[in-house]
Structure 1
Amino acid sequence: MKIEEFINSLKELNISYTDEMLNKLEEYYHFLIEYNSHTNLTAITSLEQIYLKHFYDSLTIVKAIDLNDIKTVLDIGTGAGFPGVVLKIFFPHIEITLLDSNHKKTKFLELLVNKLELNKVNIICNRSENYIKNNRESFDLVVSRAVADLTVLTELSLPFVKVGGLFISYKGDNKEEINSSLFAVKELGGKLIDVINLTLPNENSKRSLVVVEKINRTSSLYPRTYDKILKKPLKIKEK
Protein backbone atom coordinates (compact mmCIF):
# COMPACT_ATOMS: atom_id res chain seq x y z
CA MET A 1 0.00 0.00 0.00
CA LYS A 2 1.59 3.24 -1.17
CA ILE A 3 1.07 6.43 0.84
CA GLU A 4 -1.39 7.74 -1.76
CA GLU A 5 -3.41 4.53 -1.45
CA PHE A 6 -3.32 4.83 2.33
CA ILE A 7 -4.72 8.36 2.13
CA ASN A 8 -7.52 7.12 -0.12
CA SER A 9 -8.25 4.36 2.39
CA LEU A 10 -8.66 6.98 5.12
CA LYS A 11 -11.39 8.57 3.03
CA GLU A 12 -13.06 5.17 2.54
CA LEU A 13 -12.94 4.59 6.30
CA ASN A 14 -14.39 8.09 6.89
CA ILE A 15 -11.40 9.06 9.01
CA SER A 16 -10.66 12.78 9.12
CA TYR A 17 -6.99 13.64 8.78
CA THR A 18 -4.60 16.56 8.54
CA ASP A 19 -1.18 16.98 6.96
CA GLU A 20 0.26 16.97 10.48
CA MET A 21 -1.21 13.52 11.15
CA LEU A 22 0.17 12.14 7.89
CA ASN A 23 3.58 13.65 8.65
CA LYS A 24 3.60 12.06 12.10
CA LEU A 25 2.73 8.70 10.61
CA GLU A 26 5.58 8.98 8.11
CA GLU A 27 7.92 9.98 10.93
CA TYR A 28 6.68 6.94 12.87
CA TYR A 29 7.59 4.71 9.92
CA HIS A 30 11.11 6.10 9.58
CA PHE A 31 11.84 5.93 13.31
CA LEU A 32 10.49 2.36 13.47
CA ILE A 33 12.80 1.24 10.66
CA GLU A 34 15.78 3.02 12.18
CA TYR A 35 15.18 1.50 15.62
CA ASN A 36 14.41 -1.92 14.18
CA SER A 37 17.96 -2.09 12.80
CA HIS A 38 19.26 -2.80 16.31
CA THR A 39 16.15 -3.86 18.26
CA ASN A 40 13.71 -6.44 16.90
CA LEU A 41 10.31 -4.73 16.72
CA THR A 42 8.81 -5.97 13.45
CA ALA A 43 9.59 -8.47 10.72
CA ILE A 44 7.80 -6.22 8.24
CA THR A 45 10.08 -3.44 7.01
CA SER A 46 8.96 -2.18 3.58
CA LEU A 47 6.99 1.06 3.51
CA GLU A 48 4.14 -0.51 1.52
CA GLN A 49 3.76 -3.43 3.94
CA ILE A 50 3.98 -1.33 7.10
CA TYR A 51 1.35 1.09 5.81
CA LEU A 52 -0.90 -1.85 4.93
CA LYS A 53 -0.33 -4.45 7.66
CA HIS A 54 0.38 -2.13 10.58
CA PHE A 55 -1.05 1.33 9.91
CA TYR A 56 -4.14 0.55 7.81
CA ASP A 57 -4.91 -2.64 9.73
CA SER A 58 -4.81 -0.74 13.03
CA LEU A 59 -7.38 1.75 11.75
CA THR A 60 -9.91 -0.83 10.55
CA ILE A 61 -11.32 -0.75 14.08
CA VAL A 62 -13.46 2.20 12.97
CA LYS A 63 -15.65 -0.36 11.21
CA ALA A 64 -16.62 -1.59 14.69
CA ILE A 65 -16.77 1.55 16.82
CA ASP A 66 -16.96 5.35 16.60
CA LEU A 67 -13.74 6.36 18.33
CA ASN A 68 -14.94 9.95 18.61
CA ASP A 69 -17.16 8.74 21.46
CA ILE A 70 -14.29 7.03 23.32
CA LYS A 71 -12.20 8.73 26.00
CA THR A 72 -9.91 6.04 27.44
CA VAL A 73 -8.24 3.16 25.60
CA LEU A 74 -5.92 0.38 26.77
CA ASP A 75 -3.78 -1.42 24.18
CA ILE A 76 -2.64 -4.79 25.58
CA GLY A 77 0.54 -6.28 24.14
CA THR A 78 1.09 -3.15 22.08
CA GLY A 79 4.57 -4.12 20.88
CA ALA A 80 5.81 -1.33 18.60
CA GLY A 81 2.58 0.63 19.14
CA PHE A 82 0.01 -1.17 17.03
CA PRO A 83 -2.79 -0.27 17.11
CA GLY A 84 -2.43 2.20 19.98
CA VAL A 85 -0.06 4.83 18.60
CA VAL A 86 -1.76 4.80 15.19
CA LEU A 87 -5.15 5.37 16.83
CA LYS A 88 -3.69 8.19 18.94
CA ILE A 89 -2.33 9.98 15.87
CA PHE A 90 -5.71 10.05 14.13
CA PHE A 91 -7.88 10.42 17.25
CA PRO A 92 -5.77 12.75 19.41
CA HIS A 93 -8.52 13.34 21.99
CA ILE A 94 -8.15 9.77 23.29
CA GLU A 95 -6.16 9.11 26.44
CA ILE A 96 -4.34 5.90 25.58
CA THR A 97 -2.39 3.44 27.71
CA LEU A 98 0.17 1.26 25.95
CA LEU A 99 0.85 -1.93 27.92
CA ASP A 100 3.67 -4.36 27.16
CA SER A 101 5.88 -6.53 29.35
CA ASN A 102 8.92 -6.16 27.06
CA HIS A 103 11.19 -3.37 28.33
CA LYS A 104 12.92 -2.90 24.96
CA LYS A 105 9.56 -2.24 23.32
CA THR A 106 8.33 0.20 25.97
CA LYS A 107 11.65 2.06 25.74
CA PHE A 108 11.07 2.44 22.00
CA LEU A 109 7.54 3.69 22.67
CA GLU A 110 8.79 6.31 25.14
CA LEU A 111 11.20 7.67 22.54
CA LEU A 112 8.55 7.50 19.80
CA VAL A 113 5.86 9.30 21.79
CA ASN A 114 8.35 12.03 22.69
CA LYS A 115 9.50 12.32 19.06
CA LEU A 116 5.93 12.61 17.76
CA GLU A 117 4.97 15.01 20.59
CA LEU A 118 1.92 12.98 21.57
CA ASN A 119 0.21 13.84 24.83
CA LYS A 120 -2.15 11.84 27.05
CA VAL A 121 -0.19 8.64 26.38
CA ASN A 122 0.72 6.31 29.26
CA ILE A 123 3.44 3.73 28.60
CA ILE A 124 3.47 0.82 31.03
CA CYS A 125 6.03 -1.97 31.17
CA ASN A 126 4.11 -4.64 33.06
CA ARG A 127 2.05 -7.79 32.70
CA SER A 128 -1.74 -7.52 32.45
CA GLU A 129 -2.32 -9.68 35.52
CA ASN A 130 -0.18 -7.28 37.59
CA TYR A 131 -1.37 -4.00 36.08
CA ILE A 132 -5.00 -4.97 36.78
CA LYS A 133 -4.57 -4.45 40.54
CA ASN A 134 -5.18 -0.70 40.43
CA ASN A 135 -6.87 -0.46 37.04
CA ARG A 136 -9.80 -2.87 37.12
CA GLU A 137 -12.77 -1.76 34.97
CA SER A 138 -11.11 1.59 34.18
CA PHE A 139 -11.26 1.81 30.37
CA ASP A 140 -13.98 2.57 27.81
CA LEU A 141 -12.21 0.40 25.24
CA VAL A 142 -9.55 -2.30 25.42
CA VAL A 143 -7.86 -3.41 22.20
CA SER A 144 -5.29 -6.03 21.28
CA ARG A 145 -3.52 -7.22 18.16
CA ALA A 146 -1.51 -9.74 20.17
CA VAL A 147 -1.10 -13.21 18.68
CA ALA A 148 -2.26 -15.09 21.79
CA ASP A 149 -5.33 -17.33 21.64
CA LEU A 150 -8.57 -15.35 21.97
CA THR A 151 -9.60 -17.20 25.14
CA VAL A 152 -6.32 -16.14 26.77
CA LEU A 153 -6.62 -12.57 25.48
CA THR A 154 -10.17 -12.31 26.77
CA GLU A 155 -9.15 -13.18 30.33
CA LEU A 156 -6.26 -10.71 30.19
CA SER A 157 -8.35 -7.93 28.66
CA LEU A 158 -12.01 -7.98 29.73
CA PRO A 159 -11.33 -7.28 33.44
CA PHE A 160 -9.99 -3.83 32.42
CA VAL A 161 -13.18 -2.83 30.57
CA LYS A 162 -15.84 -0.69 32.24
CA VAL A 163 -19.34 -2.14 32.30
CA GLY A 164 -20.87 -0.85 29.07
CA GLY A 165 -17.46 -0.64 27.41
CA LEU A 166 -15.92 -2.81 24.69
CA PHE A 167 -13.06 -5.23 24.17
CA ILE A 168 -12.06 -5.49 20.51
CA SER A 169 -9.53 -8.05 19.35
CA TYR A 170 -7.86 -7.98 15.94
CA LYS A 171 -7.73 -11.59 14.77
CA GLY A 172 -7.37 -13.64 11.63
CA ASP A 173 -10.21 -15.56 10.01
CA ASN A 174 -10.62 -18.32 12.61
CA LYS A 175 -14.22 -19.13 13.51
CA GLU A 176 -13.17 -22.05 15.71
CA GLU A 177 -10.96 -19.81 17.86
CA ILE A 178 -13.79 -17.31 18.25
CA ASN A 179 -16.36 -19.99 19.13
CA SER A 180 -14.06 -21.60 21.69
CA SER A 181 -13.70 -18.24 23.49
CA LEU A 182 -17.43 -17.78 24.12
CA PHE A 183 -17.40 -19.53 27.50
CA ALA A 184 -14.61 -17.23 28.70
CA VAL A 185 -16.43 -14.17 27.37
CA LYS A 186 -19.55 -15.03 29.39
CA GLU A 187 -17.62 -16.08 32.51
CA LEU A 188 -15.77 -12.75 32.53
CA GLY A 189 -18.91 -10.63 32.21
CA GLY A 190 -18.95 -10.09 28.47
CA LYS A 191 -21.17 -10.71 25.49
CA LEU A 192 -20.02 -11.24 21.90
CA ILE A 193 -21.93 -8.64 19.90
CA ASP A 194 -20.21 -8.74 16.51
CA VAL A 195 -17.52 -10.32 14.36
CA ILE A 196 -16.55 -8.07 11.47
CA ASN A 197 -14.78 -9.89 8.65
CA LEU A 198 -12.30 -7.91 6.57
CA THR A 199 -9.91 -8.42 3.68
CA LEU A 200 -6.79 -6.27 3.46
CA PRO A 201 -6.58 -4.28 0.20
CA ASN A 202 -4.13 -5.48 -2.46
CA GLU A 203 -4.02 -9.01 -1.08
CA ASN A 204 -6.27 -11.77 0.20
CA SER A 205 -5.33 -11.65 3.89
CA LYS A 206 -8.43 -12.29 5.98
CA ARG A 207 -8.97 -10.36 9.21
CA SER A 208 -11.66 -10.29 11.88
CA LEU A 209 -12.58 -7.71 14.48
CA VAL A 210 -14.07 -9.57 17.45
CA VAL A 211 -16.28 -7.16 19.39
CA VAL A 212 -17.21 -7.98 22.99
CA GLU A 213 -19.39 -5.77 25.19
CA LYS A 214 -18.89 -5.76 28.96
CA ILE A 215 -22.35 -6.32 30.45
CA ASN A 216 -21.45 -7.46 33.98
CA ARG A 217 -18.57 -6.87 36.36
CA THR A 218 -15.73 -9.39 36.24
CA SER A 219 -15.10 -11.53 39.31
CA SER A 220 -12.01 -10.53 41.29
CA LEU A 221 -10.79 -14.10 40.68
CA TYR A 222 -9.78 -12.96 37.19
CA PRO A 223 -7.36 -12.57 35.57
CA ARG A 224 -5.39 -15.47 36.99
CA THR A 225 -1.63 -15.69 36.61
CA TYR A 226 -0.49 -16.18 33.03
CA ASP A 227 0.75 -19.71 33.76
CA LYS A 228 -2.66 -20.71 35.12
CA ILE A 229 -4.45 -19.12 32.16
CA LEU A 230 -2.35 -21.20 29.78
CA LYS A 231 -2.63 -24.43 31.76
CA LYS A 232 -6.38 -24.18 32.38
CA PRO A 233 -7.98 -21.85 29.81
CA LEU A 234 -11.58 -20.85 30.44
CA LYS A 235 -13.31 -23.30 28.15
CA ILE A 236 -16.25 -25.65 28.61
CA LYS A 237 -14.91 -28.86 30.05
CA GLU A 238 -15.47 -31.89 27.86
CA LYS A 239 -17.66 -34.56 29.46
Structure 2
Amino acid sequence: MASTIHAAARPEVVFQVRSVSKTYQSGDILVVALRSVELELSAGEFVVFLGPSGSGKSTLLNILGGLDTPTSGDVRFRDHWLSQADDAGLTRFRREHVGFVFQFYNLIPSLTALENVTLVTEIAEHPMDPQEALRLVGLTERQNHFPSQLSGGEQQRVAIARAIAKNPDILLCDEPTGALDFPTAKLVLDVLAHINEELHTLVAVITHNTAIAAMADRVIRLRSGEIVEITHNERKARTEELVW
Protein backbone atom coordinates (compact mmCIF):
# COMPACT_ATOMS: atom_id res chain seq x y z
CA MET A 1 0.00 0.00 0.00
CA ALA A 2 1.41 3.36 -0.95
CA SER A 3 1.95 5.70 1.94
CA THR A 4 1.15 9.38 1.88
CA ILE A 5 3.66 11.83 3.34
CA HIS A 6 2.20 15.11 4.49
CA ALA A 7 4.49 18.10 4.55
CA ALA A 8 4.42 20.10 7.75
CA ALA A 9 2.06 23.01 7.44
CA ARG A 10 3.89 26.31 7.07
CA PRO A 11 2.89 29.10 9.44
CA GLU A 12 0.54 31.66 7.94
CA VAL A 13 2.34 34.71 6.58
CA VAL A 14 0.48 37.63 8.14
CA PHE A 15 2.74 40.55 7.20
CA GLN A 16 4.16 41.26 3.77
CA VAL A 17 6.48 44.26 3.43
CA ARG A 18 7.50 45.06 -0.13
CA SER A 19 10.09 47.71 -1.15
CA VAL A 20 9.19 49.93 1.80
CA SER A 21 11.07 53.20 2.16
CA LYS A 22 10.47 56.05 4.58
CA THR A 23 11.90 59.54 4.33
CA TYR A 24 11.48 62.63 6.48
CA GLN A 25 12.21 66.25 5.69
CA SER A 26 14.21 68.01 8.40
CA GLY A 27 14.70 71.59 7.23
CA ASP A 28 16.72 71.35 4.05
CA ILE A 29 17.86 67.82 4.83
CA LEU A 30 16.12 64.66 3.61
CA VAL A 31 16.42 61.94 6.24
CA VAL A 32 16.12 58.37 4.96
CA ALA A 33 14.79 56.17 7.77
CA LEU A 34 14.09 53.01 5.71
CA ARG A 35 15.46 51.91 2.35
CA SER A 36 13.59 49.36 0.20
CA VAL A 37 12.82 46.95 3.05
CA GLU A 38 11.57 43.47 2.10
CA LEU A 39 10.14 41.30 4.87
CA GLU A 40 7.58 38.65 5.77
CA LEU A 41 6.38 37.82 9.28
CA SER A 42 4.39 34.73 10.19
CA ALA A 43 1.71 34.00 12.77
CA GLY A 44 3.07 32.81 16.10
CA GLU A 45 6.64 33.95 15.52
CA PHE A 46 8.85 35.59 18.11
CA VAL A 47 10.97 38.09 16.17
CA VAL A 48 13.69 40.42 17.42
CA PHE A 49 14.62 43.52 15.43
CA LEU A 50 18.19 44.34 16.36
CA GLY A 51 20.16 47.46 15.57
CA PRO A 52 21.74 50.62 16.96
CA SER A 53 19.92 53.90 17.45
CA GLY A 54 19.01 55.36 14.07
CA SER A 55 18.99 52.02 12.27
CA GLY A 56 15.29 52.30 11.34
CA LYS A 57 13.90 49.63 13.63
CA SER A 58 11.44 51.93 15.43
CA THR A 59 10.25 53.38 12.12
CA LEU A 60 9.63 49.87 10.80
CA LEU A 61 7.77 48.86 13.96
CA ASN A 62 5.58 51.97 13.72
CA ILE A 63 4.70 51.14 10.11
CA LEU A 64 3.87 47.54 11.01
CA GLY A 65 1.65 48.82 13.83
CA GLY A 66 -0.21 51.33 11.69
CA LEU A 67 1.21 54.30 13.59
CA ASP A 68 3.00 55.52 10.47
CA THR A 69 2.87 54.93 6.72
CA PRO A 70 5.70 54.37 4.23
CA THR A 71 6.78 57.00 1.75
CA SER A 72 6.85 54.28 -0.90
CA GLY A 73 6.26 50.55 -1.10
CA ASP A 74 3.48 48.29 0.18
CA VAL A 75 2.60 46.83 3.58
CA ARG A 76 -0.07 44.17 3.84
CA PHE A 77 -1.48 42.51 6.96
CA ARG A 78 -3.62 39.62 5.79
CA ASP A 79 -6.28 41.42 3.73
CA HIS A 80 -5.45 44.89 5.07
CA TRP A 81 -3.37 47.11 2.77
CA LEU A 82 -1.85 49.35 5.46
CA SER A 83 0.16 51.41 3.01
CA GLN A 84 -3.07 52.51 1.32
CA ALA A 85 -5.27 52.93 4.41
CA ASP A 86 -6.59 56.29 5.62
CA ASP A 87 -6.42 57.41 9.24
CA ALA A 88 -9.74 55.76 10.10
CA GLY A 89 -8.60 52.48 8.56
CA LEU A 90 -5.30 52.54 10.46
CA THR A 91 -7.12 53.31 13.71
CA ARG A 92 -9.43 50.34 13.13
CA PHE A 93 -6.45 48.10 12.33
CA ARG A 94 -4.65 49.09 15.53
CA ARG A 95 -7.78 48.63 17.63
CA GLU A 96 -8.64 45.21 16.24
CA HIS A 97 -5.26 43.59 15.66
CA VAL A 98 -2.32 45.24 17.47
CA GLY A 99 -1.11 45.44 21.05
CA PHE A 100 1.71 47.87 21.86
CA VAL A 101 4.29 47.71 24.66
CA PHE A 102 6.67 50.66 24.99
CA GLN A 103 9.72 51.38 27.12
CA PHE A 104 7.65 53.63 29.35
CA TYR A 105 4.49 52.11 30.75
CA ASN A 106 1.93 54.91 30.14
CA LEU A 107 -0.40 53.65 32.85
CA ILE A 108 -3.13 55.92 34.21
CA PRO A 109 -1.97 56.76 37.77
CA SER A 110 -5.48 57.12 39.23
CA LEU A 111 -6.56 53.63 38.08
CA THR A 112 -5.64 50.28 39.59
CA ALA A 113 -3.84 47.63 37.55
CA LEU A 114 -7.16 45.92 36.86
CA GLU A 115 -8.85 49.19 35.87
CA ASN A 116 -5.97 50.07 33.52
CA VAL A 117 -6.44 46.75 31.74
CA THR A 118 -10.24 46.91 31.77
CA LEU A 119 -10.18 50.31 30.07
CA VAL A 120 -8.71 48.75 26.91
CA THR A 121 -11.17 45.85 26.83
CA GLU A 122 -14.07 48.30 26.65
CA ILE A 123 -13.08 49.32 23.11
CA ALA A 124 -11.98 45.88 21.84
CA GLU A 125 -14.18 43.64 19.71
CA HIS A 126 -13.23 40.29 21.28
CA PRO A 127 -11.40 41.04 24.52
CA MET A 128 -10.25 38.54 27.07
CA ASP A 129 -11.24 38.87 30.69
CA PRO A 130 -9.00 41.55 32.28
CA GLN A 131 -8.31 39.31 35.27
CA GLU A 132 -7.17 36.55 32.90
CA ALA A 133 -4.78 38.98 31.22
CA LEU A 134 -3.30 39.87 34.60
CA ARG A 135 -3.06 36.18 35.51
CA LEU A 136 -1.03 35.55 32.35
CA VAL A 137 1.54 38.13 33.44
CA GLY A 138 1.59 36.87 37.05
CA LEU A 139 -0.13 39.84 38.70
CA THR A 140 -3.40 38.43 40.04
CA GLU A 141 -2.47 39.36 43.60
CA ARG A 142 -1.51 42.91 42.58
CA GLN A 143 -4.57 43.71 40.47
CA ASN A 144 -6.04 46.19 42.95
CA HIS A 145 -2.82 48.19 43.38
CA PHE A 146 -2.21 51.57 41.78
CA PRO A 147 0.84 52.14 39.54
CA SER A 148 2.62 54.08 42.33
CA GLN A 149 2.36 50.94 44.48
CA LEU A 150 3.99 48.73 41.84
CA SER A 151 7.62 48.22 40.92
CA GLY A 152 8.88 49.14 37.44
CA GLY A 153 8.76 45.51 36.36
CA GLU A 154 5.23 45.11 37.67
CA GLN A 155 4.11 48.24 35.85
CA GLN A 156 5.60 46.91 32.61
CA ARG A 157 3.74 43.64 33.13
CA VAL A 158 0.50 45.59 33.61
CA ALA A 159 1.29 47.32 30.31
CA ILE A 160 1.72 43.90 28.67
CA ALA A 161 -1.56 42.67 30.20
CA ARG A 162 -3.26 45.78 28.85
CA ALA A 163 -1.81 45.10 25.39
CA ILE A 164 -2.87 41.45 25.25
CA ALA A 165 -6.30 41.95 26.85
CA LYS A 166 -7.87 42.87 23.52
CA ASN A 167 -6.65 39.56 22.05
CA PRO A 168 -4.36 41.11 19.41
CA ASP A 169 -2.86 39.16 16.53
CA ILE A 170 0.39 41.07 16.96
CA LEU A 171 2.26 42.31 20.02
CA LEU A 172 4.75 45.05 19.09
CA CYS A 173 7.31 45.88 21.76
CA ASP A 174 9.60 48.91 21.54
CA GLU A 175 12.56 48.49 23.95
CA PRO A 176 10.29 46.87 26.57
CA THR A 177 13.21 46.25 28.95
CA GLY A 178 15.09 49.50 28.30
CA ALA A 179 14.13 51.11 31.61
CA LEU A 180 14.54 47.98 33.74
CA ASP A 181 17.41 46.38 35.65
CA PHE A 182 18.69 42.97 34.57
CA PRO A 183 16.63 40.68 36.90
CA THR A 184 13.42 42.63 36.24
CA ALA A 185 14.05 42.71 32.48
CA LYS A 186 14.32 38.91 32.46
CA LEU A 187 10.94 38.64 34.21
CA VAL A 188 9.35 40.85 31.54
CA LEU A 189 10.97 38.87 28.71
CA ASP A 190 9.71 35.66 30.31
CA VAL A 191 6.18 37.08 30.19
CA LEU A 192 6.57 37.93 26.49
CA ALA A 193 7.82 34.41 25.74
CA HIS A 194 4.89 32.96 27.69
CA ILE A 195 2.37 35.06 25.76
CA ASN A 196 3.95 33.97 22.48
CA GLU A 197 3.78 30.29 23.43
CA GLU A 198 0.39 30.18 25.15
CA LEU A 199 -1.59 32.52 22.90
CA HIS A 200 0.44 31.99 19.68
CA THR A 201 0.63 35.75 19.30
CA LEU A 202 3.13 37.16 16.82
CA VAL A 203 5.59 39.00 19.08
CA ALA A 204 8.03 41.52 17.61
CA VAL A 205 10.58 43.14 19.92
CA ILE A 206 12.92 45.93 18.91
CA THR A 207 16.08 46.36 20.95
CA HIS A 208 19.74 47.27 20.82
CA ASN A 209 20.47 44.49 23.35
CA THR A 210 22.06 41.62 21.41
CA ALA A 211 21.52 39.13 24.25
CA ILE A 212 17.74 39.22 23.76
CA ALA A 213 18.18 37.92 20.20
CA ALA A 214 18.91 34.43 21.53
CA MET A 215 15.28 33.92 22.59
CA ALA A 216 13.82 34.70 19.15
CA ASP A 217 12.74 32.45 16.31
CA ARG A 218 14.29 34.96 13.92
CA VAL A 219 16.64 37.89 14.36
CA ILE A 220 16.37 40.76 11.88
CA ARG A 221 19.34 43.12 11.94
CA LEU A 222 19.03 46.64 10.62
CA ARG A 223 21.63 49.27 9.86
CA SER A 224 21.17 52.67 8.23
CA GLY A 225 17.55 51.91 7.32
CA GLU A 226 18.26 48.57 5.66
CA ILE A 227 17.86 44.94 6.68
CA VAL A 228 21.42 43.65 6.56
CA GLU A 229 20.90 40.14 7.95
CA ILE A 230 18.13 37.72 8.93
CA THR A 231 19.11 34.71 11.02
CA HIS A 232 17.12 31.78 12.44
CA ASN A 233 17.78 30.35 15.86
CA GLU A 234 17.73 26.56 15.73
CA ARG A 235 17.12 26.60 19.46
CA LYS A 236 15.41 29.45 21.32
CA ALA A 237 17.16 30.31 24.57
CA ARG A 238 15.18 30.34 27.78
CA THR A 239 15.11 33.66 29.56
CA GLU A 240 17.06 32.28 32.52
CA GLU A 241 19.94 31.59 30.12
CA LEU A 242 20.24 35.20 28.98
CA VAL A 243 23.21 37.21 30.18
CA TRP A 244 24.18 40.81 29.51
TM-score over 0.5 for the alignment? no
Under a length normalisation based on structure 1, what TM-score does the superposition of the two structures give?
Answer: 0.33
Under a length normalisation based on structure 2, what TM-score does the superposition of the two structures give?
Answer: 0.33
Structure with more of its chain in strand, by fraction: 2
